[in-house]
Amino acid sequence: MKFPYGLSDFATLIQEGYFYQDRTDRIPQLEEAGRQLIFIRPRRFGKSLLLSMLEHYYDVNRAGQFDALFGHLAIGQNPTPLHNQYFVMKWDFSLVKAQGDMKDIEAALHQHLNDRIAKFQRYYAKWLTAPMAIHPDNALSSWEATLTAISETPHKLYLLIDEYDNFANEVLMTGRKQDYYEALLYGEGLLKTVFKAVKAAAGGQGLDRAFITGISPVVLSDMTSGYNVGENIYLADKFNDLCGFTEGEIAAVLESMTPEDGSWSVANALDTMRTFYNGYGFSTKACERLYNPTLSLYFLKHLQTEGEYPERLLDENLAMDRSKLVYISHLPHGEDLLIQALDGDQGVIIPQLAQRFGVQDVLAAVKDQAFMASLLYYFGVLTLAGRGVLGQAILQIPNLVARSLYVERLRELWLPTYEDRQTRVRLAETVYLQGDLGPLCAFIEQRYFPVLSNRDYRWTNELLVKIAFLTLLFDDRLYMMVSETEVDRGYVDLSLIVRPDMRRFQALDLLLEFKYLALKDLDLTGEQLRQRAPDELAALPPVAAKLREAEDQAHRYGAALRERYGLSDLRLFAVVGLGIERVVWQALE
């Protein structure tokens, strides 16, 4: 089995025997959904391969290849009447250079459209009898000539547009000048005019269908008057898994790869992939979570070729998603949102997802939680997890790979110096190897708590104590580290389970249960707390009671985790935060 990591050409996958998870059964549903469709998914989630599949299915020039390409797939057994009935043109706005001044950007857009039109002219030359003039400085005139030539044939056009929102992403994430974007999409801006031309072409000028993909709906609001005929299908339940893999599909692939030498087990590999890559939901009605396809193929290809898991489970091709969290963290209360998202029990609850917002809103408007959380949903670092008691949208971090991006961002904010970061690594290793929380707790008291106490957080101090440990101990190279793991009808506060492929090393399996007491619960001042030794604090009746409560939960949850993962030496800890001043802990038998 060959895995097509980084490949998005449908014909190459099929003809060269690469793995392809069949989604052709959705073609009839897409045809019924509308003639001009807009489909949004995070980066590297299989959108380009989807477009390539549609291109090969509808292309009139590939009619002779239909059986070879689709005969063994679902649609090959029952094709729709529209197969191989269209001229197909594809625009990819990610290829349009967005640097330079406004004239440079407009010239690049004209050039891209003209290049695609010229390619179209050569490819369908036997069908096109009317001359097609290419106007170097006016791609819209070239477009009109193309439509005229198409009108004299028995076929119509299917237009595919990939990364339609590329310019908006440039503005958001790279600090491009706002006026550049406005010049493209406001008034008679070129990009807005392009979409007006697409809309006009669909009004009887030869364009029969369009399928548009992107990362976010930012551009939709800005181009509404230019293109208000597109139908959004990205939240539809029946298209939830149009891109991405289900757990059953991943399990079937792993079963087919089972090694004869027993060097890895299907159960452990599936558990690892579930923890790191699963969890995406793009419809509030979706019953099944999805695996990120790029990360899954990255893992499977490495497992196939090397016989072991990749050491780094975050593919660096997705690491640029960090910039989205940097952007959010710089907004008012953005840091609050990152902290709340890391609270795996509650997640982020908003009235509903924002489906249309313009770049003016993104750059200048007041950012409320719903706005910021919606952006993180479209960027793929939050995902739909259900409905609240009043029908609100519940958003959660989908998996451990996404969680690592949040942790990295908070570490950058809270531990800005090289010395702090090196100290964190050393103290975390003491916990991993010896199960000694003492030095780490001292660091939290002396370095972390002063940073956190100076921030205007709206969340409970109890959550901040847990987040402090989570961000300092997080290491997905060694651990499957999950906050609020559900076991035995309850939730483990923090569990660090060594990855199956890292068990040859000396890291310990760890479980931490947290409790919290405010200063008023102790009838002590912060100064009095700072003056007492840890054993004195642990002996205080309220603290001792909280330690016992945490101990009882740790033992109950620990038994469940030992059974789930087959652990023989799970270390348990009870931790009590005392205000944002001190931390008391006990290692449990």
Instruction: Give the span between the Cα atoms of 307 and 311, in whole angstroms.
Output: 12
Number of helical H runs and strand E runs in the chain: 27, 13
122 pLDDT tier (thresholds 50, 70, 90): very high
Least confidently predicted of 55-59, 260-264, 361-365: 361-365
Per-residue confidence (pLDDT) for residue 459, from 0 to 100: 62
Per-residue confidence (pLDDT) for residue 489, from 0 to 100: 59
Checking if the pLDDT of 177 tops 90, the result is: no
Which of these, 375, 397, 356, 317, lies nearest to 43 by C-alpha position? 317
Average pLDDT over residues 547-559: 95
Q: What is the dihedral of CA 356, 367, 458, 585, to 10 degrees?
A: 70
465 pLDDT tier (thresholds 50, 70, 90): confident
Q: Which residue has the tokens 């349009």?
A: 96
DSSP 93: G
- pLDDT tens digits, one per residue of 376-418: 998 889 999 888 888 898 999 999 989 999 999 999 999 999 9
Average pLDDT over residues 86-109: 89
Q: Are 23 and 316 in contact (CB under 8 A)?
A: no
CB neighbour list of residue 173: distance below 8 Å, 6 or more residues apart: 323, 324, 327
> pTM of the predicted model, to two decimals?
0.90
Q: What is the dihedral of CA 121, 127, 130, 132, to 10 degrees?
A: -10
Least confidently predicted of 457-466, 469-478, 562-571: 457-466
Q: Is 220 exposed, middle or buried (0-12, 13-18, 19+ CB in 10 A)?
A: buried
Per-residue confidence (pLDDT) for residue 322, from 0 to 100: 77
What residue spans of 415-540 are helical by DSSP H? 418-434, 438-443, 449-453, 461-473, 519-522, 526-531, 534-539
CATH number assigned to the domain covering 10-239: 3.40.50
Least confidently predicted of 102-111, 114-123, 154-163, 340-349: 340-349
Per-residue confidence (pLDDT) for residue 369, from 0 to 100: 85
* C-alpha to C-alpha distances, 349 to 370, 466, 581, nearest whole angstrom: 8, 20, 30
Does 100 or 92 have the greater pLDDT score?
92
Q: Are 295 and 278 in contact (CB under 8 A)?
A: no
The sign of the CA dihedral 193, 233, 296, 56 is negative
Instruction: Give the span between the Cα atoms of 54 and 155, in whole angstroms.
Output: 16
Checking if the pLDDT of 1 tops 80, the result is: yes
Q: Are 514 and 577 in contact (CB under 8 A)?
A: yes
Checking if the pLDDT of 488 tops 70, the result is: no
Q: Are 553 and 513 in contact (CB under 8 A)?
A: yes
Per-residue confidence (pLDDT) for residue 51, from 0 to 100: 98
Helix (H) or strand (E) holding 576: strand 570-578
For the chain, how many residues are written?
Answer: 589
Checking if the pLDDT of 484 tops 60, the result is: no
Instruction: Give the span between the Cα atoms of 25 and 184, in whole angstroms.
Output: 38
Helix (H) or strand (E) holding 542: helix 541-565
Per-residue confidence (pLDDT) for residue 175, from 0 to 100: 59
Ranges in the chain annotated CATH 3.40.50: 10-239
Average pLDDT over residues 82-102: 91
Q: How far is CA 118 from the centre of its chain?
A: 36
- pLDDT tens digits, one per residue of 190-224: 888 898 999 999 988 999 999 999 988 877 777 66
* C-alpha to C-alpha distances, 24 to 9, 17, 49, 474, 491, nearest whole angstrom: 15, 17, 12, 40, 40
**Residues paired with 280 in a beta bridge:** 290
Does 240 or 168 have the greater pLDDT score?
240
Q: Are 582 and 536 in contact (CB under 8 A)?
A: no
- pLDDT tens digits, one per residue of 415-428: 999 999 999 999 99
Average pLDDT over residues 566-575: 95
Mean pLDDT over each residue of the chain, to the nearest integer = 89
The tokens describing 117, both together, are 């039109």
Percentage of the chain lying above the pLDDT 90 cut: 63
- pLDDT tens digits, one per residue of 512-527: 999 999 989 999 998 9
474 pLDDT tier (thresholds 50, 70, 90): very high
Per-residue confidence (pLDDT) for residue 329, from 0 to 100: 86
Average pLDDT over residues 252-277: 93
Does 327 or 473 have the greater pLDDT score?
473
451 pLDDT tier (thresholds 50, 70, 90): confident
